[in-house]
């Protein structure tokens, strides 16, 4: 029986998808849009390209998505992260001028792992970025349009079903709504339940359990003194490791720490920023606690 | 600035980012290997994974051909 998650896990005569089902579900509308475009453009490209098209490109033009799955992944993940950039820009426009917003969006798109990782293949990172940026946009608009506060539950729940560690953000925003917008909490919760239900049903039907095993794996170190050195190393590594440190590859993000200091002093966007900053810190801690 | 102008600029940025991303080098990852097959199985009339065990055949001709390629690759 193959144990490599990338090869799926066989049980009986079937193969079961091991990674969270959120990525394929969220990407499905884009896949349908791409398929419809290729129904029109594919034959034209195939005819114009003639013998010059490589086998993968020809397969793509002929809508043979498995033979051309790398191109499909590139196109869809690029579209997903480009859409996330759109929401980063729109969120920035709520608070900043045009030039600042464009600069921030382009920094997100080209000076972070959005370009080097999330947009390169159809894994969890890109769709999670899209869901979080959408939720942030809705939360930013909510003070003027309160109905959007409840809507923010949908992308956050989707983010959880895409990548379970996004539960940190989901819980922090739920706490924020519960404490500071109690009147909206039932609506927010209803939106969350409606979004989660199809996934729970899918998991029950497919895996005979509400959550896939990926969500319940014991992946985290126990908080015992013997584990603290490893956790501290990982904590520093996430920030400044030469091979993957976030501040090594995207040093401009250091300004976000200064931004948190500024928020603290000026009490701007209070109290939402406190919950978002706490989500950031807890996420960092969760990554440091990850058992490799 | 009118709200429409904001949206227009947002879509321009989105389009620009998409074009640059698509033209950038591709990345191969076994972690994402199954995402496209799972999407196709969700789009298929019936669960495409059934094709694997030959219990049913219900999918588009292209999918069947592609699955045989995939099956060969995995073997």
Nearest 5°: the CA angle A92, A100, B24 is 85
ipTM score here? 0.89
CA–CA gap between residue B28 and residue B42 (Å, rounded): 23
What pLDDT is attached to residue A289? Answer: 87
pLDDT in tens, B16-71: 999 999 999 888 777 888 889 888 888 875 554 444 443 333 334 444 455 555 54
- Which residues in chain A have their CB less than 8 angstroms from residue B13's CB? 85-86, 89, 102, 105-106, 109
Helices (H), A142-181: 147-151, 153-162, 167-180
Give the model's pLDDT for residue A218: 83
* Cβ within 8 Å of residue A65, ≥6 positions away: A72, B36, B40, B62, B66
Give yes or no for A86 touching B (CB within 8 A).
Answer: yes
pLDDT in tens, chain A (292 residues): 444 444 455 555 567 788 899 999 999 999 999 999 999 998 998 888 877 888 888 999 988 898 898 999 999 999 999 999 999 999 999 999 999 999 999 999 999 999 999 999 999 999 999 999 999 999 999 999 999 999 999 999 999 999 999 999 999 999 999 999 999 999 999 999 999 999 999 888 888 889 988 898 888 888 888 888 989 999 999 999 998 899 999 999 999 888 888 888 888 777 899 999 999 999 999 998 887 6
pLDDT for the residue A12 = 56
The pLDDT assigned to A153 comes to: 97
Residue A10 has what pLDDT?
A: 53
Query: Where is pLDDT greater, at A37 or B72?
Result: A37
A122 contact B CB<8A: yes
Give the one of A4, A65, A123 whose C-beta lies nearest to B40's C-beta: A65
pTM for the full predicted model: 0.87
Measured between CA atoms, how close is B58 to chain A, in angstroms?
A: 16
B30, closest residue in chain A (CA to CA): A6
Question: If contacts are CB pairs under 8 Å, which of residues 66-85 in chain A contact chain B?
Answer: 66-67, 69-75, 77-79, 81-83, 85
Contacts of A13 in chain B (CB under 8 A): 52-53, 55
Distance of alpha carbon B59 from alpha carbon B50, whole angstroms: 10
Considering only the beta carbons, identify the residue of A6, A69, A106 that sits closest to B31.
A6
What is the structure's pLDDT at A158? 97
**Spatial separation of the C-alpha atoms in residues A114 and B70, rounded to whole Å:** 29
Phi first, then psi, for residue A291 (nearest 5°) are -85, 115
Please state the φ and ψ torsions of residue A17, each to the nearest 5 degrees: -70, 125
Residues of A in contact with B59 (CB under 8 A): none
Predicted pLDDT of residue A253: 93
Do A122 and B42 lie within an 8 Å CB cutoff? Answer: no
Residue reference for tokens 């094709």: B51
CA–CA gap between residue A173 and residue A137 (Å, rounded) = 13
């Amino acid at each position: 029986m193959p144990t490599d998650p990338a090869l799926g896990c066989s049980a009986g005569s079937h193969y079961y998808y091991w990674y969270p089902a959120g990525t394929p579900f969220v990407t499905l509308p884009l896949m349908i849009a791409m398929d419809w475009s290729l129904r029109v453009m594919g034959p034209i490209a195939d005819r114009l390209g003639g013998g010059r098209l490589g086998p993968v490109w020809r397969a793509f033009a002929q809508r043979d998505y498995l033979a051309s799955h790398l191109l499909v992944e590139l196109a869809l993940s690029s579209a997903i992260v480009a859409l996330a950039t759109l929401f980063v820009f729109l969120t920035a426009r709520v608070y900043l001028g045009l030039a600042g917003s464009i600069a921030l969006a382009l920094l997100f798109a080209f000076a972070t792992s959005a370009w080097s990782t999330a947009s390169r293949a159809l894994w969890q990172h890109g769709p999670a970025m899209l869901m979080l940026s959408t939720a942030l946009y809705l939360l930013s608009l909510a003070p003027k349009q309160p109905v959007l506060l409840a809507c923010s539950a949908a992308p956050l729940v989707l983010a959880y079903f895409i990548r379970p560690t996004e539960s940190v953000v989901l819980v922090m925003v739920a706490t924020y709504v519960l404490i500071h917008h109690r009147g909206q909490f039932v609506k927010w919760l209803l939106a969350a339940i409606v979004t989660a239900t199809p996934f729970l049903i899918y998991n029950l039907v497919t895996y005979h359990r509400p959550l896939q095993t990926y969500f319940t794996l014991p992946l985290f170190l126990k908080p015992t003194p013997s584990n603290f050195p490893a956790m501290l190393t990982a904590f520093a590594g996430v920030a400044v490791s030469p091979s993957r440190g976030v501040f090594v590859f995207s040093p401009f993000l250091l300004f976000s720490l200064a931004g948190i200091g500024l928020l603290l002093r000026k009490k701007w966007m209070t109290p939402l920023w406190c919950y978002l900053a706490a989500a950031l810190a807890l996420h960092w801690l969760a990554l440091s606690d990850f058992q490799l | 600035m009118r709200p429409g102008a904001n949206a227009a600029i947002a879509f321009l940025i989105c389009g620009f980012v998409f074009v640059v991303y698509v033209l950038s080098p591709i990345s191969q990852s076994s972690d994402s290997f199954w995402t496209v097959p799972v999407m196709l199985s969700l789009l298929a009339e019936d669960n495409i994974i059934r094709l694997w065990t030959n219990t049913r055949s219900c999918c588009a001709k292209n999918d069947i051909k592609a699955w045989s390629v995939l099956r060969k690759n995995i073997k």
